[in-house]
Structure 1
Amino acid sequence: MNRKIRFLLIIVFCTSVNFLLHSDSICRWITNTTYGCPSYPFQFVPSKKPKHINVAFIKTHKTAGTTMLSMMMRFADCHNLTVMLPIESCHVGFCYPQWFNATSVDPGTLSGTILAGHMRFDKKEVQRLMPKDTIYITIMRDPGALFDSAFHYFLPRCRSFMSVPGHSLAGFLADPQRYYQQNETLSHFTKNFMTFDFGKDKDHPATDTAYVQAFLAEMEETFSLVMITEYFDESLVVLRHLLSWDLEDILYFRMNMRKESTKKQLSPDLVSKARAWNALDTYLYDHFNASLWQKIAALGPGCVEREVRELRQALDNLMRSCFKGTMPLREAKLINAESRPWQPPGDIDIMGYVLPENFSHGLSQHTQELCRKIILPGNVYVRRIKKSQAERYKARQQQQT
């Protein structure tokens, strides 16, 4: 057998093995994909390794975390994986703002390989429950834009914000110490709340460089990837390579969005003041923004850019397939409970998706199923996963008795 034939047989064998590892009947939507950053020196397979399924996603507030949560739930759903879910009294989050604890996890889901949701991160407690090869990921957003979003989202529930004349963000940032109530119930939403979510002291002086450096070092040691909201698609490409996932696995529709008419562009002065008020968060964000681009450089900026283009094209194609030119977004109050995003108190309208009545016309069963799943916000998908897992757990218990 000459060298050329042996080489072709090797290619066929590798392709066949990888197809078996990456074929999931209800998840396959994109076919014949050529990835920009191949794991092999040839572009004939998505990845040479099985998909990594032991994943902990630490969901932070107002950072596109709900979009990520929905994507993680869909991945678990498609691959028939068990997700660790909170007990009923904790609702969707793991009894946030309390530190994460095993007692906040539904006992029937403790065998899960995926953990995703709001929590106040306790590294040792999470590691005690998750498999040793778990990959930890999270997401951060620029504190300027983040604080603006948080101010309007949590305004009706935070005394620190409500006490500002006219409920003005500019008024609060003009003299935040005047309005900040450190001991109020929801004070964690009013200063350095990414720092708080990661289990650290939101009120610790940012001038304590030793504290900041130790915090950054601990985060680096724990998290294999810190995604950046402003570079969400680039982050997803890095995530795909880190977990050996396929392009189908990182498809998403944006979730938990404010109505565009309620958003205003922040002035550079307000952005600067918001970053200064949230100085610990700013240190975190700047550090891990740079870290993301180091990972992109390691993969190759050109190939990451090509994968981003392919991802966006796939999303555009899926949007057209699911909505057939109709307006996809609706206010939460106009959406039925089966796919309604959570609507906070106050005047901020959160938007969600509604499929047209004839959306299934001309679509394969696979695409129809993907359309139905990809529009589900994280909170709805968690309830759906919880119900299906409870039924499986009950069936196993009955078999054992």
Structure 2
Amino acid sequence: MWSAITRQGCALTSRHRNSCKMMMKRQVLLLTLLGFVTVWMLQTGQLNWIMKPFEERTCFINDSRPKHTNVAFLKTHKTGSSTMLNILFRFAERHNLTVALPKGAQFAYPNLFTSDLVDPHTKPPNIITNHMRFNKKELEKLMPPDTVYITIMREPSAMFESLFDYFYPFCQSMNRVPNKSISEFLDNPFKYYRPHEGDSMFARNCLTFDLGGDKDSFHMDYGARLAAQVEETFSLVMISDYFDESLILLRHLLKWDLEDIVYFKSNMRSEKAKKKMTPELSAKIRAWNSIDAYLFDHFNASLWRQLHAIGLDCVARELQLLDKAQKKLSRTCFGQEMPRLNSGSKIKDSALKPWIPKDVDIVGYELATDLSAERQALCTKFVMPELPYIDAIRKAQSERYKKQHELENA
């Protein structure tokens, strides 16, 4: 726009043509410099070019404490935890942190976590977030003393519906049910459920199991006792149903910037794949998963007490800023305010292709085709599925570990 105005001025005042040409050259140099600065910011993985207009108006900018970087996130099943993994991985990369990764595909789940399961190339860690069955004593051996413990829960009927669809091919207690029928399973669950089978945790109180609890406890007060243990250990229990509100609390707790919590959802099923829940079916699910239901109700109420303590006006303001930032990022990565989704089976790029269980319609992302190399690299990290991202983090950290080891032994 500046160049167009200058050209008009030069045409009108020909005797100043030489000085106009000099002005145009300076403007071109200025625009080129701005371009280089933008590329540099993209290459360093920073989102200030997106966040700057929003960050100045947030509620927490007067807090001068540094960002908290030591985090243990218990990744529970079918609760939106893959999205949190992506957030934590990107935070670790931007701040040059170490993420604890398993030696194999996972931390020996469904066995309890032990610290010897961690790949030595990923020690000592700042962050741990892969699926595990929670074991506080073993995590305390591994993580720094100031580690903040966080987990996430989801409304039990929606969570169980997702579990049933996702793990039906692998969980024997589910696979015995004809036609993948949740209602038939719940009409007579003990006809199909075997509590001691290795994969039975997916069929009953999976959240309780992931927390290290007894999924088959029949004691009346067990849910309350487990909730007290969780409350003692975890500084924040996020609620998937209020994911953005939970992120505001996370940001407040860890003193993170708005750019640290911007996200796109990971590991999603298509809307048509989700079964509609009737009130009767939801009630049956909650009764069958009674410990999970108790935990969810307890920590959902806790979440809203914390939000009220911050102030709902402040929370609403933060949510608005987060929404604006995510729409701006979406326009950058997809060329529109809503991300471009496609069936995972149709995605060709291996870095963007999600893992797809048998007969489950998982969707993935397709970035805009006209992105620069720098923006392509940045946007890819936002939509990269869990398994490719784990491989990328493992490779980067192994290379860093080997270089450090070589320097120490030089």
TM-score range (shorter-chain normalised) is 0.7 to 0.9
Q: Which of these residues, 201, 208, 211, is aligned with residue 220 of structure 2?
A: 208
Cα distance in 2 for residues equivalent to 1:200 and 1:35: 42
Q: Give the letter aligned to residue 157 of structure 1.
A: F
Cα distance in 2 for residues equivalent to 1:234 and 1:257: 20
Paired position in structure 2 for 1:31: 52
Does 1:184 pair with 2:203?
A: no
* Secondary structure of the structure 2 residue equivalent to 1:121: coil
Paired position in structure 2 for 1:44: none
- My pick for the range that moved more, 351-360 or 306-315, is 351-360
Structure 1 residues 339-350: aligned runs within 5 Å: 339-344=352-357, 346-350=358-362
What CA deviation, in whole Å up to 9, does each residue of 1:330-375 have, x standing for no partner? 222222221221111x2112111121221339xxx4x554312101
Q: Which of these residues, 67, 74, 88, is aligned with residue 90 of structure 2?
A: 74
Q: Which of these residues, 183, 186, 194, is aligned with residue 207 of structure 2?
A: 194
TM-score, with length taken from structure 2: 0.85
Paired position in structure 1 for 2:71: 55
What CA deviation, in whole Å up to 9, does each residue of 1:37-87 have, x standing for no partner? 2353xxxxxx31111001000100000000000110000011111111110
Question: 1:256·1:351 contact (CA, 8 Å) conserved in 2?
Answer: yes
Question: 2:352·2:383 contact (CA, 8 Å) conserved in 1?
Answer: yes
4+ long deviations beyond 4 Å = none
Q: Give the letter aligned to residue 28 of structure 1.
A: L
- My pick for the range that moved more, 280-289 or 351-360, is 351-360
Paired position in structure 2 for 1:167: 180
Question: Paired residues, what number?
Answer: 362
Q: Which of these residues, 113, 134, 138, is aligned with residue 121 of structure 1?
A: 134
Q: Which of these residues, 377, 393, 399, is aligned with residue 391 of structure 1?
A: 399
Paired position in structure 2 for 1:86: 102
Give the drift of 1:36: 4.1
Structure 1 residues 146-165: aligned runs within 5 Å: 146-165=159-178
Paired position in structure 2 for 1:229: 240
Question: 1:151·1:161 contact (CA, 8 Å) conserved in 2?
Answer: yes
Q: Give the letter aligned to residue 56 of structure 1.
A: A
Query: Unmatched 5+ residue regions in structure 2?
Result: 1-42
Cα distance in 1 for residues equivalent to 2:263 and 2:223: 34
* Secondary structure of the structure 2 residue equivalent to 1:50: coil
* Secondary structure of the structure 2 residue equivalent to 1:31: helix
Question: 1:73·1:378 contact (CA, 8 Å) conserved in 2?
Answer: no
Cα distance in 1 for residues equivalent to 2:122 and 2:168: 34
Paired position in structure 2 for 1:265: 276
Cα distance in 2 for residues equivalent to 1:231 and 1:138: 14
Question: 2:79·2:153 contact (CA, 8 Å) conserved in 1?
Answer: yes
Give the aligned CA root-mean-square deviation in angstroms: 1.7
Does 1:247 pair with 2:258?
A: yes
Query: What percentage of aligned pairs have identical amino acids?
Result: 48
Cα distance in 2 for residues equivalent to 1:144 and 1:212: 17
Cα distance in 1 for residues equivalent to 2:316 and 2:339: 29
Q: Give the letter aligned to residue 65 of structure 1.
A: S
Q: Give the letter aligned to residue 75 of structure 2.
A: K
Paired position in structure 2 for 1:334: 346
Question: 1:251·1:315 contact (CA, 8 Å) conserved in 2?
Answer: yes
Q: Give the letter aligned to residue 26 of structure 1.
A: G
Cα distance in 2 for residues equivalent to 1:159 and 1:108: 36
Paired position in structure 2 for 1:14: none
Paired position in structure 2 for 1:19: none
Q: Give the letter aligned to residue 62 of structure 1.
A: K
* Secondary structure of the structure 2 residue equivalent to 1:117: coil
Question: 1:37·1:300 contact (CA, 8 Å) conserved in 2?
Answer: no
Question: 1:36·1:304 contact (CA, 8 Å) conserved in 2?
Answer: no
The higher-RCO structure (CA 8 Å, 6+ apart) is 1
Paired position in structure 1 for 2:387: 379
Q: Give the letter aligned to residue 191 of structure 1.
A: R
Cα distance in 2 for residues equivalent to 1:273 and 1:61: 20
Q: Which of these residues, 370, 386, 391, is aligned with residue 358 of structure 1?
A: 370
Question: 1:155·1:162 contact (CA, 8 Å) conserved in 2?
Answer: yes
What CA deviation, in whole Å up to 9, does each residue of 1:67-122 have, x standing for no partner? 000110000011111111110x3x1x211111100111011212111111100000
Q: Which of these residues, 329, 339, 349, is aligned with residue 318 of structure 1?
A: 329
Q: Which of these residues, 64, 85, 94, is aligned with residue 80 of structure 2?
A: 64
Cα distance in 2 for residues equivalent to 1:62 and 1:377: 15
Give the drift of 1:327: 6.3
Question: 1:324·1:359 contact (CA, 8 Å) conserved in 2?
Answer: no
What CA deviation, in whole Å up to 9, does each residue of 1:119-167 have, x standing for no partner? 0000011011111110000000011100000001101112211222322
Question: 1:37·1:299 contact (CA, 8 Å) conserved in 2?
Answer: no
Paired position in structure 2 for 1:103: 116
* Secondary structure of the structure 2 residue equivalent to 1:352: strand
Question: 1:160·1:180 contact (CA, 8 Å) conserved in 2?
Answer: yes
TM-score, with length taken from structure 1: 0.87
Larger Rg: 2
Q: Give the letter aligned to residue 247 of structure 1.
A: L
Question: 2:98·2:124 contact (CA, 8 Å) conserved in 1?
Answer: yes
